Chain A
């Protein structure tokens, strides 16, 4: 049995408290009026000016783009008032721009929280999916890691409660993350009317969105509960009844998951850019999550082994996990590039805007993902000997996790805060908060059952697994 050390518990709680403080600061410092937004903007321009001409110029260009945007909107609204058109447009110009920036600045703490929330939720549910893949495939090597994976899955109920709360607040207009939820987007008489969103309102409507989201989360949690229950029951069972039940639940979960995974990604991520669509987006987000999930499994395993709790795990098990990290890093790159290259090649305006914005406003992060998520993992983990060294797996794993957090960041932020992004209290605080909660929940779950799933018929094979 694993003993949750008090040192780790205090670390987890400290992370949660620091994270929470960061989140509160970010919410408190978000502007509530346009005047405050203008002040922040002025401050930004000053700061950038001090840093040098280039940064200043970029800022100015992006501002100009907003001006153009606002101009068009203003003209559109004023077309009927010919006499005052110019005057109004001039006023609408500034006001429209400020309103736009204000929304982005108000979105920032929410979006920062959402990035971390989504990342941790998805990674956890994919750890559970990986556990079920291992069960259904009757893998012989990974049985000694099942309790680690079950422990990580134990984080899902915690994060689901927060996610559910977040979804309900969003549905009740507590934030402006999803533009299609705004007032009047489907009402032809409203100045907010958006025919593209209106055409998609059969899918993009709040009741459907909320109900489906609840089905995904509750469904996943039910499977996590059933899996854990039968896994623990099997420990002291004299027959294999629970094992077979878990096998069947595994098959059912994977069937359920392949649909809900895709749909939840449409709802939770692609819905942020309701004018844009991509066919392989669901798999692409899955690829991000599965690399991170395997990394998390490897990291928790290495930690527990270093504390002497997983003596049966040998470096061949680590080798296999690292091989999966390596393989799925390439798989992620394949999907990332397939999505990018098809859109870049055809260059159809309605699809390309997605990448134009990311390339213009998030260039460092967008391009930085490639070395972090592809080049470094491939070069580090291509060597068979390196895959057996815990320090290398931990180091590469850290790079991979940072890279995939950035990936989620670049999925969510451009649609919600545009060029007003940064790494401040909210972003760092959210990650620390969820990291603390993750550590707390995972190691609490792990400490509640023996670290080796005794009743599994493949356990003997797994104990003697070597590659």
Chain B
């Protein structure tokens, strides 16, 4: 790549944006990024983004939570100090299992939910004091922005984007 130039094409409607994405995709240009003020249904499919695997993570985290709960209740209530508490059987974990189910359930949910959220933050690189990466503040309000890297084809790209009802087309030097 010879330059660090990108084109920003701005749109004021999500349907227009979808059509533009389709046009650009059909012309075989790579779309670097799309900024929208709200989730646009079907945009990820149009961009050809792969499915998220967050749900699989959550399932595995849930299993970890379940295992942790089983280990913890077994260690505390059966192995370490098996007391007779109100006649509840403590000869083996399974005999007192129903009493542990609420803990098992809650810890499963706790692990699945929190670890999944943390995974999400890490994968999308979100944290407090993180510098915002917003190319144009209007995209948080009512403007949709498509970013396309330029590779010696600036004129061709601009011409193509001009056909897509963009409200604004800017060529920007990126650092």
Contact = CB atoms under 8 A, between A and B. Distances in A.
B123 to A, nearest CB: 19
Interface in A165-221: none
A341 B98 contact: yes
A347 B87 contact: yes
B59 A345 contact: no
Interface string A330-358: 00000001001100110100000000000
Contacts of B98: 337, 340-341, 344-345
A382 interface: yes
A121 B98 CA distance: 32
Interface in B77-121: 87, 98-99, 101
B99 A382 contact: no
Nearest to B88: A345
A341 B96 CA distance: 11
A337 B104 CA distance: 13
A337 B59 CA distance: 22
Contacts of A344: 98
B119 to A, nearest CB: 18
A382 B98 CA distance: 24
User: Which of B55, B98, B99 is packed against the most chain A CB atoms within 10 Å?
Assistant: B98
Interface string A347-384: 10000000000000000000000000000000000101
Contacts of A384: 55
Nearest to B56: A383
Contact of A341 (B55, B59, B87, B101): B101
A382 B87 contact: no
A349 to B, nearest CB: 13
A384 B98 CA distance: 30
Contacts of B55: 384
B62 to A, nearest CB: 10
Nearest to B55: A384
Contacts of A340: 98
B101 A382 contact: no
Contacts of A345: 98-99
Contacts of B99: 341, 345
A425 to B, nearest CB: 37
A227 to B, nearest CB: 34
A340 B55 CA distance: 31
Nearest to A385: B51
Interface string A382-394: 1010000000000
Interface string B54-89: 010001000000000000000000000000000100
Interface in B26-57: 55
A384 B99 CA distance: 32
Contacts of A347: 87
Contacts of B59: 382
A39 B140 CA distance: 84
Contacts of B101: 337, 341
B133 to A, nearest CB: 30
Interface in A303-345: 337, 340-341, 344-345
A316 to B, nearest CB: 14
Nearest to A340: B98
Interface in A372-425: 382, 384
B59 to A, nearest CB: 7
Contacts of B87: 347
B31 to A, nearest CB: 24
User: What are the 10 tightest A-B residue pairs by CB atom distance, in nearest-first order?
Assistant: A341-B98, A344-B98, A337-B101, A345-B99, A341-B101, A345-B98, A340-B98, A382-B59, A347-B87, A384-B55
10 contacts: A337-B98, A337-B101, A341-B98, A341-B99, A341-B101, A345-B98, A345-B99, A347-B87, A382-B59, A384-B55
Interface of B: 55, 59, 87, 98-99, 101
Given A345-B98, A345-B99, 10 more contacts: A337-B98, A337-B101, A340-B98, A341-B98, A341-B99, A341-B101, A344-B98, A347-B87, A382-B59, A384-B55
